[in-house]
Amino acid sequence: MAIPKVMGTEIEYGITVRGDPDFDPISSCVLLVNAYHEDPTGEILWDYDQENPLADARGFQVDGEKYTPNQQENIARNKTLINGARFYVDHAHPEYSSPEVTNARDLVIHEKAGERILEASRREANALLPEGTQMLLYKNNSDRKGNSYGAHENFLMDRRTPFKQVVEHLLPFFVTRQIYCGAGKVGSENCNQPCDFQISQRADFFETEVALDTMVKRPIINTRDEPHADREKYRRLHVIVGDANLSEYTIYLRTGVTVLVLSMIEDGAIKRSLSLRDPVLAIKEVSHDPTCKREIQLEDGRRLTAVQLQAEYLEMAQQYVGNTDTAETKDILEKWAYVLDCLERDPMELDRQIDWVMKKALIDGFMERKSLGWEASQVHMLDLQYHDLRPDKGLYYILERQGLAERMVTDDEILVAVHKPPEDTRAYFRGECLRRYGSAVFGVNWDSISFSVDEETIKRIQMPEPLRGSKAHVEDLLDRSKTAAELVKNLSL
C-alpha cells in the first residue's frame, strides 16, 4: 500500500534591480530576504548539520565538500517563517521553500503564499534602494543569458520501492507531463534547435537522464538522497524537471497527477512499458511543439504523441483508483482527462487553465494587433511580463483579476497561509514553536528544531515523522508549555 504523500516546493525567483548598473544579485537577494519583517522571529540559524546533499539515491556518496556558511552569513541568508516555510538566498536567487503539505490543494495555497511573501519583501527592499532604482522579481526559470534556475518539487516515497523502478516509470512521465505543466517560452536557449514558442521554460536545459547535480549536466531524474525524515522509511523524490507555474489550476493538476503516479509506482500498478528511446531528445521535441502532435520514439519501436503517452498513464490511474479514493483524487482524474482531451483537439482551448497556453494566447493576440513577429523585442518583453510578481504589472495577475484565469483557492486562504502553517504535518509544530518561542529558537531544519534554554546546552528536538507534529498531535502540548523550557521539559516526560 502506497504511503501517504507529504510534499512541498522550492521556487527560485529571478531577480534584477532596474536602474542599477552595478547590480549584484547576491547582495540584492540578502537585502530582499532581510527586508521581510512581517514575522516576529529573531536571528535563527538554519541547521546545515542535518543536511547531506552528496548522498545519491543509487546507493553511494558523491565526492565533494558540503558548503556550510559561518554563523553571520547563515543568519543573513536564511529566514524560517512562522508559516513553516523557509525563505533564503540560494546561490544568486531568492528561494522560497513551502512548508510540508499533504494534498495538491494545500500546495497551491502555500506556494501562492510564497508569492505574496516575496512581493511584500520586494516592496520593503525597494524602500531601501537608491532613488531611481527598482527591484523586480519574476517567477520564471530563465534569464535569457543561458542561465536557468529551478522550481523543485519534493515528494516523500516509500524507501522500499527500488529506485530503478522509480526511474523507469518516471522518465516517460516527466518528459511528457510538460504539456500541462509548462510555463511557456518564446524562443530556445542552451544551443538547442530554434523555435518560435515552446511549452517548457526548462526543457532546453536538461542534458542527461539520471544524475545528482542540479546545475551542471542537469538530469531529468535527480538522485539526491536527502529525505529530511526517517531514512529507514522514506525517500524524498527531488523533482527538478518542472517549470515555475503561476496558474493555480496548473500547480494543482501538476501536483495531483504526480502524486497519483508515484503511488502507482509504489503499488506496482504501472504494468505497461512506456520507456523512451532517447528521453533527453524527447523532452526537447515535446517542448518545441505547441501543437502537441509530434510523435516521440519509444524503446519498443512505437511512436506516440505526448498526449497519447499521458493518456496511457491516465488509463492506468483510473484502473488503479477505481471507486475507492478521495474526492480530490477523483477531481484530479477528471481534470487530467479534460486537459488531455483539449490538448488532443486544440491546446488553445485551455487558455484559462494551463500556463503555457495562457501565455501563448496573450502573445498571439498582441502580435496580431501590433503586426509583430516572434523575433520582436516587445514579444520577448511580454513573455517576461507574464511572470512579473507585481500584482499591477504581472500579466498572469491581470488575467486573474479579469476573471480569465481559473482559480483553485481563494485570496483569503492564501493570506492566512502567509502567517499560519498547514495543520496536518510537522510544519505546524515548527511554525508554532517559532511564533510562541521565537526568541529561544536557536536553529531549524525540516526534521529538527533546536532551543537555547537558560544558557544550557542546545536542546535539539528531532522530527523524523512528517505527519507527527500536526495540530492534532501537539496543540495541547504547546498550550501547556508557556515557555520553550517548559516545552523541552514536557517533551522529555
119-162 per-position pLDDT tens digit: 999 999 999 999 999 999 999 999 888 889 999 999 999 999 99
Task: Round to whole Å and give the CA distance between 469 and 456.
Answer: 25
| Nearest C-alpha neighbor of 104 from the set 481, 354, 409, 376 | 409
| Residue numbers of the domain that contains 457 | 423-492
Q: Are residues 430 and 409 in the same domain?
A: no
Same domain, 289 and 151: yes
- Which of 389, 415, 441 is the last residue before a domain boundary? 415
Contacts of 120 (CB under 8 A, 6+ apart): 36, 38
Residues 428 and 401 in one domain: no
Q: Note the pLDDT of residue 66.
A: 65
Q: Phi and psi (nearest 5°) for 61?
A: -105, 130
Q: Are both 383 and 477 inside the same structural domain?
A: no
Residues 402 and 427 in one domain: no
Assigned domain for 257 exists: yes
pLDDT digits (tens, 9 = 90+) for 325-371: 789 999 999 999 999 999 999 999 999 999 999 999 999 999 999 99
Helix H, strand E, coil C: the string for the chain is: CCCCCCEEEEEECEEEEECCCCCCHHHHHHHHHHCCCCCCCCCCEECHHHCCCCEECCCEECCCCCCCCCHHHHHHHEEECCCCCEEEEECCEEEEECCCECCHHHHHHHHHHHHHHHHHHHHHHHCCCCCCCEEEEECCCECCCCCECCEEEEEEEECCCCHHHHHHHHHHHHHHHHHHHCCCEECCCCCCCCCCEECCCCHHHCCEEEECCCCCCCEEEECECCCCCCCCCEEEEEECCCCCCCCHHHHHHHHHHHHHHHHHHHCCCCCCCCCECCHHHHHHHHHCCCCCCCEEEECCCCEEEHHHHHHHHHHHHHHHHCCCCCHHHHHHHHHHHHHHHHHHHCHHHHCCCCHHHHHHHHHHHHHHHHCCCCCCHHHHHHHHHCCECCCCCCHHHHHHHCCCCCCCCCHHHHHHHHHCCCCCCCHHHHHHHHHHHHHHEEEEECCEEEECCCCCCCEEEECCCCCCCCHHHHHHHHHHCCCHHHHHHHHHC
Report the alpha-carbon angle 228-178-261, nearest 5: 55
Residue 366: CB atoms within 10 Å: 15
Same-domain status, 195 and 344? yes
Residue 266, domain CATH: 3.30.590
The cell for 248 is: 493555480
- 483 with 351, same domain? no
94-117 confidence digits (pLDDT tens)? 999 999 999 999 999 999 999 999
Judge if 335 and 274 occupy the same domain: yes
pLDDT, tens digit, 9 for 90 and up, residues 431-464: 999 999 999 999 999 999 999 987 767 899 999 9
Same domain, 407 and 488: no
Choose the final residue of a domain: 352, 383, 415.
415
| pLDDT tens digits, 251-309 | 999 999 999 999 999 999 999 999 999 999 999 999 999 999 999 999 999 999 999 99
Residue 1 lies in a domain: no
The pLDDT score that the predictor gives to residue 63 is 61
| Torsion sign, CA atoms 386, 391, 392, 398 | positive
Are 257 and 312 in contact by the 8 Å Cβ rule? The answer is no
Catalytic residues: 90
397 lies in the same domain as 480:
no
Note whether residue 58 is domain-resident.
Answer: yes
312-317: average pLDDT:
98
Examine the domain organization and report whether 429 and 410 are in the same domain: no
Report yes or no on 2 lying in a domain.
no
Same domain, 185 and 244: yes
Domain total of the chain: 2
- Asked if residue 481 is part of any domain, the answer here is yes
> Position 16: which residue type?
T
Question: Which one-letter amino acid corresponds to residue 461?
Answer: I
Of the three residues 415, 436, 455, the one that is the final residue of a domain is 415
Q: Does residue 232 surpass a pLDDT of 80?
A: yes
